[in-house]
């Protein structure tokens, strides 16, 4: 009764373990549960649900045509596994047999972002020092810093502001021109 009727009606595989009836409400629930299984003349489902033992279950599934199979009482095998950690030898055996080992078992020492940036800084510093030693000291234009107006006009923020102001001005002028016509 924990699963809604709309979900129960859509199930293709049903496995029902033992239910115990201790109260009148429990007995009603068992009758309703038994009614959710295909009708059978071989089993009295309401009684069988309460008589199932450990490892026993009632099973029904859909066949390849989507028709429910007859209800079957069956013994379920426990899983064949162990609940324990793997030994180092077992781990190594699994790793060695993996098809991913040739690709991912290689140690890579790629450069970090810090190392890449330091290399770029060193290259730029070397280039600046090499340019200074090439005789650019006598070049007046290389020694002078750009003027205020040059740096202002080449600033990306100022360019963006000027473009926005120009667009707004053109829109306003064209808008007023179009209204007069």
DSSP labels, 10-39: T-S-EEE------SHHHHHHHHHHHHTSPP
Per-residue pLDDT tens over the stretch 161-180:
989 999 999 888 888 877 77
Whether residue 135 is predicted with pLDDT greater than 60 in this model: the reply is: no
DSSP labels, 55-94: TEEEEE-B-TTSPBPPPEEEEPPPPS---SPPPHHHHHHH
Query: Where does the pLDDT of residue 78 fall: very low under 50, low under 70, confident under 90, or very high at 90 and above?
Result: confident
Upper half-sphere CA count for residue 181 (Cβ side, 13 Å): 5
Indicate the average pLDDT of the chain: 83
Query: Where does the pLDDT of residue 9 fall: very low under 50, low under 70, confident under 90, or very high at 90 and above?
Result: confident
Query: Where does the pLDDT of residue 7 fall: very low under 50, low under 70, confident under 90, or very high at 90 and above?
Result: confident
Upper half-sphere CA count for residue 61 (Cβ side, 13 Å): 5
pTM of the model: 0.40
Per-residue pLDDT tens over the stretch 84-129:
899 999 999 988 899 988 888 888 888 888 889 989 888 888 888 8
The 14-16 sheet, strands edge to edge: 14-16, 56-60, 72-75
């Amino acid at each position: 009764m924990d699963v809604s009727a709309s979900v129960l009606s859509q199930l293709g595989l049903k496995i029902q373990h033992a239910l115990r009836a201790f109260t009148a409400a429990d007995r009603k629930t068992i009758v309703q549960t038994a009614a959710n299984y295909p009708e059978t003349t071989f089993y009295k489902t309401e009684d069988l649900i309460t008589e199932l033992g450990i490892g026993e279950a009632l099973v029904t599934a859909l066949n390849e045509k989507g028709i429910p199979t007859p209800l079957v009482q069956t013994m379920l095998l426990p899983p064949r596994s162990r609940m324990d950690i793997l030994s180092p030898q077992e781990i190594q055996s699994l790793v060695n047999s993996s098809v991913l080992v040739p690709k991912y078992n290689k140690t890579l020492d790629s450069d970090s972002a810090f190392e890449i940036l330091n290399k770029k800084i060193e290259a730029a510093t070397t280039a600046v020092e090499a340019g200074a030693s090439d005789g650019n000291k006598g070049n007046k234009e290389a020694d002078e810093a750009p003027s205020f107006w040059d740096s202002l006009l080449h600033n990306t923020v100022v360019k963006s502001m000027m473009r926005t102001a120009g667009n707004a001005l053109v829109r306003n002028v064209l808008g007023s021109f179009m209204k007069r016509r």
